[in-house]
Chain A
Amino acid sequence: MKNVGIIMRKELYRVFSDKKMVFGLFIMPALVVIGLYLLMGIMMASIMKDWEEHEPTVLVYQAPESFQEYMDQVREDNEVHSADTVYKWHELPVGLYTIGDIRYHIIWLEDEQEIEAAKEDIYNGELDLILAFPKGFDQQIQNYQVGDIIPDIETYYNPSEDYSDNAREDVLAFILEGYRNQLLEKRLGSLEQLEIYTIDRDNEESVIQNDNKAQGKLFGSIIPYMITILLFAGAMSLGADSFAGEKERGTMAALLMTPIKRSTIVYGKLFALMILSGLSALIYGGAMIFAMPLLYRTLGAMTGQELNFPPSQMCMMLILIVTLVFLYVALIAVCSTLAKNMKEGSTFISPVYMIVMVIGVISMFRGEEVTNLQYLIPLYGPTMALKNVFTLDITLPGFLLATLSNLVIGALFAWLTAKMFHSEKIMFNA
């Protein structure tokens, strides 16, 4: 055991005494994550601000009197700007109507010939929305009998333009919906007749849920994926260097010439790799947890600091992560011991990385339905267990079986690596 410690300390010292390695392995990923999230937050906030500040231009074709009245009424209700024309569109005046928080530029069009030019402008992104009323809309509404064709208002917009897309959404929700209600009220006398019943009007305790589980569901979908990927990625290059790299440089032979057991060398290297990859994932994850609120804060949404797990959940997560790291590094050790050099080592590890990634992606979409026996499936079971720890769907037997799977398969690969260390063909290409 003492010699395992000596080998492990040497491996750790090799990394920590190399400034470039420390920077590349621990500092740079953290900086990249924080920088990226910060940038994303700033960019998204700026886009949203731009959307909010944009004043949509809406052309209303063959507007019925009732709609024009409604618009004036809404505008007056809000005590906003006058309908002064500030500029013209194709010789037509443009009126400013502030409804809610949005100031609309409204063009009233009657001439059918101009409609094509308006559609052209929608296509080019110069107009945001066309609302086309059918001829005699008001009359159709007034004379409506059950069974008649319901009058249809057509909209023309450009979904590839954010302004146009948003304008349609806003006009439908804040103008046309109100207009419809007004017409309904006129027809029926009161809207209450239509409502029939309400849902949860005074019930403030409607939501009954385990808050931890709810937030676990949110994080459970993404974090196990991130953790598994980060753990593996952290160990990947270091593992290739520690086994295949040492063989390539001839420094492995120097270790093999010492009187210690070959398995001791393997375990020393494995433990060092476990520490390094765990640390790398911890820093990466820490940077994400630190950076996520930066992103959310700029967007005015929830913060990532709301993670609050019960101690038992924390323990399970820790045990699963530690044993999963053991399995990963043992797998990496087998691949890179088989390789003659670093390049070959990376090539051998890549397919395993792909498998880990695919399992990570699967874990994002599956979870609760995992049976106890499925927890035993190498790599898959423990990744699922990690997810279900977050969502509180883990069972004790499931957790134990996933841990057992990690330990048994990890130990098997570690033993295989030690066996391979005895092979002349593998170690010396003899």
Chain B
Amino acid sequence: MIEIQNVTKVYKLTRKQMEEQKTKASMKIAVKDVSLTAREGEIFGILGPNGAGKTTLLRCVATLLNPTQGQITVNGFDTVKEGEKVRRSLAFLTNEVKLDAHFSPKYLFRFFGRLYGLPEDVIEARRKELFEYFDITKFEDKRMEELSTGMKQKASIAVSLVHDPDIIIFDEPTNGLDIITARAVTDYLKLLRERGKLVIISTHIMPEAQKLCDRMAMIINGSCVFQGTLQEALEQTGADDLEDAFFELYRRKEETV
């Protein structure tokens, strides 16, 4: 379970960043007082436009960043004080976290398995299972740099799941993937949910979220404007689908600014 309590994340901007973002403010509030709870056995969507603060929030959960205010616990462990225990129970997949292109999926799987302290036979069993599921076996000895984007993504997913984590955080899971690979990935996320795992995805593709997510939170300009099920989103906004519901929430938020 993940509990996010009143989390705010503020970035200090360098002069160069201030110039790039054409702002005079030396601080940027990326996430503002967000509180969420996500539980095992569900796919939880963090929805919002680009730059809304989704990735920052997920990076805080994954212990890569520390919240400026508030607290995040993962399976009861504090992300700031007990980072190592938190990382042991989750997998974080994002475009910014990449695997070394020089190595093969097989080598990387073993390498990360060892870093998680898994015995060799467990690593081997996990590798067989995941490589077969994602159809990686036939190119497991090729270097990552020789693989296509889809293959790379599949290999990255398999490697990140080596330790069979309880929580899987997936930032833009189908971004840049072809339709077949995207389906393989979403199918696997559903499988993980069936196995009782908590899957958190961030996306700005509303139809994908509508199909996949059991519950969701909508982040606009760093603030959480909605948290609940698809049904609750539709009821609250009077929209027919998630995309319309999102736009309605977006409009309301803009009005309050």
Contacts and interface: CB of A to CB of B under 8 A. Distances in A.
A6 B97 contact: no
A14 B103 contact: yes
B117 to A, nearest CB: 8
Contact of B88 (A10, A259, A427, A428): A259
A424 B66 contact: yes
B102 A14 contact: yes
A250 B115 contact: no
Nearest to B143: A17
A249 B66 contact: no
Contacts of A427: 64
Contact of B98 (A251, A259, A260, A430): A251
Contact of B114 (A6, A13, A246): A6
Interface residues of B, number: 32
A10 B115 CA distance: 11
B96 A253 contact: yes
Interface string A1-16: 0010011001001100
B88 A254 contact: no
A425 B160 CA distance: 25
B87 interface: yes
Contacts of B101: 249
B64 A251 contact: no
Given A250-B96, A253-B96, A259-B88, A18 B102 contact: yes
A258 B112 CA distance: 8
Interface in B76-92: 84-85, 87-88, 91-92
B125 interface: no
Interface in B45-65: 59, 62-65
Nearest to A261: B84
A251 B99 contact: yes
A208 interface: no
B100 interface: yes
B237 to A, nearest CB: 33
Contacts of A39: none
B211 to A, nearest CB: 28
A257 B162 CA distance: 13
Contact of B64 (A6, A7, A256): A256
B98 A249 contact: yes
A259 B79 CA distance: 12
Contacts of B103: 13-14
A257 B87 contact: yes
A7 B98 CA distance: 16
B65 A428 contact: yes
Given A258-B116, A260-B115, A430-B11, A253 B97 contact: yes
B188 interface: no
A323 to B, nearest CB: 29
A271 to B, nearest CB: 16
B84 A257 contact: no
B133 interface: no
Given A249-B101, A250-B97, A253-B96, A428 B64 contact: yes
Given A254-B98, A259-B84, A424-B64, 14 more contacts: A13-B107, A14-B102, A251-B99, A253-B64, A253-B94, A254-B112, A257-B91, A257-B92, A257-B97, A258-B87, A259-B115, A425-B12, A430-B11, A430-B65
Interface of A: 3, 6-7, 10, 13-14, 17-18, 246, 249-251, 253-261, 424-425, 427-428, 430
Interface of B: 11-12, 59, 62-66, 84-85, 87-88, 91-92, 94-103, 107, 111-112, 114-117, 160
Of all A-B residue pairs in the complex, the 5 with the closest CB atoms, nearest first, are A250-B98, A259-B88, A253-B97, A259-B87, A258-B115
14 contacts: A6-B111, A14-B103, A246-B100, A251-B100, A253-B96, A254-B97, A254-B100, A256-B64, A257-B87, A257-B92, A258-B115, A260-B115, A424-B65, A427-B64
